[in-house]
Amino acid sequence: MIAIIDYGAGNIKSLQFALERLAIPSLLTDSKAEIEKADAIILPGVGAFTDAMKQLRLLGLDEVIKTETAKNKPLLGICLGMQMLYETSDEGGMHHGLGLLKGAIRRIPDNVKVPHMGWNNLDIHQKLPLLKHVENGEYVYFVHSYYAAEGEPEDLVADARYSLSIPAVVQHGNVIGIQFHPEKSGKTGMKILKNFGEMIS
């Protein structure tokens, strides 16, 4: 069972539907007990970093996420959920994230259209289990204005070019982040979610 963290992020139905199609059991929850019982955690996200982190802390979900990942439980952060895995973000000032990945979130420079919205292809640097059967150059769907501008080079699994390198998939041990929306990324996104399900089965 995957616990999808419910902190009022919205737009979760399409993710749940994608997991249902893959016959991967999931539960949308803000219950610490359910998160503790789960085999893995997904931290979804749309909206502003500051509001999302504030809500996580208000519900005490930041601490349960840290505790459970310290037990080597797989954690997948999606879009804003990936950004919250990092130490800081400068969205709306300097704010602290979960600190599960080293690095910082910055705004995409204005020399390109912001937000970065639409299909972009992946440049794969590490062939890890999450990207099994995903080929270099496959397209996925992005919607974001901020990105992981600073991070550990060894954590970068795949990036996308948008005038600069946008980290698209990152992983440090059991902590995984994907900047795009797999549930909106067609067959490629479904393969990635299926692979995550297989990693915890």
Q: Residue 79 catalytic?
A: yes
Instruction: Check 68, 79, 116, 138 and give the catalytic one.
Output: 79
Q: Residue 133 catalytic?
A: no
Cα 154 from Cα 133, distance rounded (Å) = 21
Residues 6 or more apart in contact with residue 7 via CB below 8 angstroms: 30, 52, 55, 56, 59, 61
How far, in Å, are 48, 96, 107, 143, 181 from residue 164 at the CA level?
A: 22, 24, 12, 16, 20
Is 62 in contact with 184 (CB distance < 8 Å)? no
**Cis upstream peptide for 115 (omega within 30°):** yes
Beta strand 40-43 with 75-78 is parallel
Q: Quick one: tokens of 65?
A: 């996420």
Residue with tokens 């996925």: 140
Instruction: Check 20, 116, 181, 198 and give the catalytic one.
Output: 181
Instruction: Check 68, 91, 138, 183 and give the catalytic one.
Output: 183
Q: Residue 181 catalytic?
A: yes
Just list the catalytic residues. Answer: 79, 181, 183
